[in-house]
Chain A
């Protein structure tokens, strides 16, 4: 929270505990006003997500093809059975998990390095760095995907001729020709696009590490690495966890880059892409909805694991103690 030169935002934010008649009246009207003000936003959020996911769950219980609505029939959970016994589903889950782990791990390291540089950078170059780092964040994912695709493309690209000195790369390297290299380019594009976000979150975390502790450790003769491990990282745990949570969930939904770069060829389908293909291309609303629901459950599971398992305390991270 902000410094305490000003009193914290009034008594209002203190929890009302005593069943005092006076405060309870006031609490009641405050409660009413609160719901009145926040209600519309909440209603809109629920309307555009809760309703559709409920509908998706309902649709997933049917055999329903868009071009053949007359033959729609209730099939219970059989769509789920089809999906969960299909190797394609598990491949897609594996690919999605792989992309998530690789990109998030690289982004965390790279983002941390960027944050350290920005934290310590000269006043003169800081605005330049900040602007540069924000650009990948602000660029449309689809544009970034096209840029990376065209760069690596065997006909339109320059990567092959520029990096021909690297082992395994020459002018005839077809990056989108097999699984490993396609995935490499997809991950590169994702990493480029989202590292800035992580680094900004980490930068904010760095700013919260108490300077006094750093100084104290320095006086005690701790090396840079010791200070990093003993002081900086423990104090940044909350920020790191929040960054991880958001990026993991984001990475798990990867769609745009794959859609643009490979359209799922060479086994690069992600779970989102699989859902898209069943509903939009195959027009199998029932089957596709079941994939969507499973994807949703996955995301909920990951969030749950993070919040409970790794004890990501969002309230704490927000400084709300």
Chain B
């Protein structure tokens, strides 16, 4: 190795300036830590912490309305959870596993409710509350709030996917949209008219949502036989209905009408496709309508395009079996470690009141679980599709209810993604083996 006797000397940096800046830095630290110290609440009126999923401010507004209505018995403060339902669950579970008493009310995505209930994270719903909060509520939302035949959460808002279509396209294709339509018909019409079919093929919860709707409509279920023991859960993926669902999914994906980015298509990007000149059909949540109106207002979409929007019930897998539209939304759980469970349940009744559900529907586009809301003229004005939404909610099928939902859904996504490469013979088999192994903790996910 050659010697390095004369390495060049590195320039020495300035001095006094650095010291002064260091002092300023230290002062900033002191200031910051001082700031952190203040900001605790001042006691007296109990504060109920409501963990909400991100929305356009509707839940925060409802929280302040209910705080006012409580007239000093409690105040509700909100904290935002992550955007992805699975990440919301991760955060809440981590806190609840630590017996966190600061969680009073939680906005829960229905598929994760069984896990919370089974783990003892939810305070029992008092009988009288259970009675009141299920009055006039659509069946799918009650089913989604229930675990082991017991109501464990309070139904709040209920989401469902509709079949959105361009009236002009359906007319040109000669499809009678007043009658139930099948996926085959839609693929046919889209191919005839060379328009897009919007479906969510991204490897995320949306894929499970789509698959569940297909298998339920084909007359099967992802979980054929349920159990609280993970090793005894029987999957229905390889059943006739499961294979049929896989077939339909593959065929739609390979129809040539799903756009170039199916394997990353989520609810938002399919809505973008539907707004484009090639838009034709799409299964998606009701938010796409206000989204379109906002785009018109921003000047990037023609009013005529939104006027062309129409919605009907989710497509059927086969002409003679009922559709099983996706069910989603949010139900409210009360934390098992909350210091004020009674007040929290009182608050949930306020939050889910008919007026607040109607407000949430019209302002944030999140459909109510309370069927009487759909008679509200203001709701009908904001959402001309409200009657279809109600009809869809009555038909909607929840995703598999199991404390191990995350494993089931994750395993499914791993095997069925990308949807264009599904092999109806092999994929259901592989997915069954994977999920069963994962449930036995014999495989990674």
Contact = CB atoms under 8 A, between A and B. Distances in A.
Asked if A and B form a direct contact in the complex, defined as CB atoms under 8 angstroms apart, the reply is yes
Interface of A: 1-3, 63, 66-69, 82-83, 86, 88-89, 154-155, 172-174, 176-178, 207-208, 210-213, 231, 234-235, 237, 263-266, 274, 277-278, 280-284, 287, 291, 319
Nearest to B121: A67
Contact of B444 (A82, A212, A235, A265): A82
Contacts of B239: none
Contacts of A266: 203, 263, 417-418
**Among A89, A172, A174, A234, which residue has the most Cβ atoms of chain B within 10 A?**
A174
Contacts of A274: 444
Nearest to B261: A174
B263 A177 contact: yes
A170 B386 CA distance: 40
Given A177-B261, A177-B264, A177-B418, A208 B7 contact: yes
Interface string B78-107: 000000001000100110010000000000
B131 interface: no
Contacts of B441: 63, 82, 284, 287
Contacts of A265: 202-203, 263-264, 417
Given A3-B7, A234-B2, 12 more contacts: A155-B261, A173-B260, A177-B260, A177-B261, A177-B264, A263-B204, A266-B203, A266-B417, A280-B90, A281-B406, A282-B406, A319-B7
Contacts of A2: 9-10
Given A66-B94, A68-B119, A83 B6 contact: no
A210 B6 contact: yes
Contacts of B7: 1, 3, 207-208, 210, 319
27 contacts: A2-B9, A2-B10, A3-B7, A66-B94, A66-B97, A82-B444, A86-B444, A88-B445, A154-B260, A154-B261, A154-B269, A155-B261, A177-B261, A177-B263, A177-B264, A207-B10, A211-B8, A231-B2, A264-B203, A266-B203, A266-B418, A278-B445, A280-B90, A281-B406, A283-B406, A284-B441, A319-B4
Contacts of A263: 203-204
B333 interface: no
B5 interface: yes
A66 B119 CA distance: 9
B119 A67 contact: yes
CB-CB nearest 3 A-B residue pairs: A172-B260, A174-B261, A265-B203
Contacts of A69: 97
**Among A83, A172, A278, A283, which residue has the most Cβ atoms of chain B within 10 A?**
A283
B36 interface: no
A212 B407 CA distance: 65
Interface of B: 1-10, 86, 90, 93-94, 97, 115, 118-119, 121, 202-204, 259-264, 269, 272, 403, 406-407, 410, 417-418, 441-445
Nearest to A2: B9
A154 B264 CA distance: 9
A88 B444 contact: yes
A66 B93 contact: yes
B410 A281 contact: yes
Given A3-B9, A235-B2, A266-B418, A86 B443 contact: yes
Contacts of A177: 260-264, 418
A207 B8 contact: yes
A277 B410 CA distance: 10
A155 B273 CA distance: 9
A231 B2 CA distance: 9
Contacts of B6: 3, 210-212
B88 to A, nearest CB: 12
A68 B10 CA distance: 59
B284 to A, nearest CB: 15
**Among A1, A173, A282, which residue has the most Cβ atoms of chain B within 10 A?**
A282
B70 to A, nearest CB: 32
A67 B403 contact: yes
B94 A282 contact: no
A283 B89 CA distance: 11
A68 B264 CA distance: 34
**Among A264, A280, A281, A287, which residue has the most Cβ atoms of chain B within 10 A?**
A281
Nearest to B5: A210
Contacts of B443: 82, 86, 88
B86 A213 contact: no
B264 A176 contact: yes
A211 to B, nearest CB: 7
Contacts of B259: 172
Given A155-B269, A281-B90, A174 B444 contact: no
Contacts of A277: 444-445
B272 A155 contact: yes
Given A67-B97, A67-B115, A208-B7, A178 B261 contact: no
Contacts of A291: 444
A66 B272 CA distance: 39
A63 B439 CA distance: 12
A261 to B, nearest CB: 10
A254 to B, nearest CB: 18
Contacts of B262: 174, 177
A287 B441 CA distance: 8
Contacts of B444: 82-83, 86, 88-89, 274, 277-278, 287, 291
A3 to B, nearest CB: 5
Contact of B260 (A174, A208, A211): A174
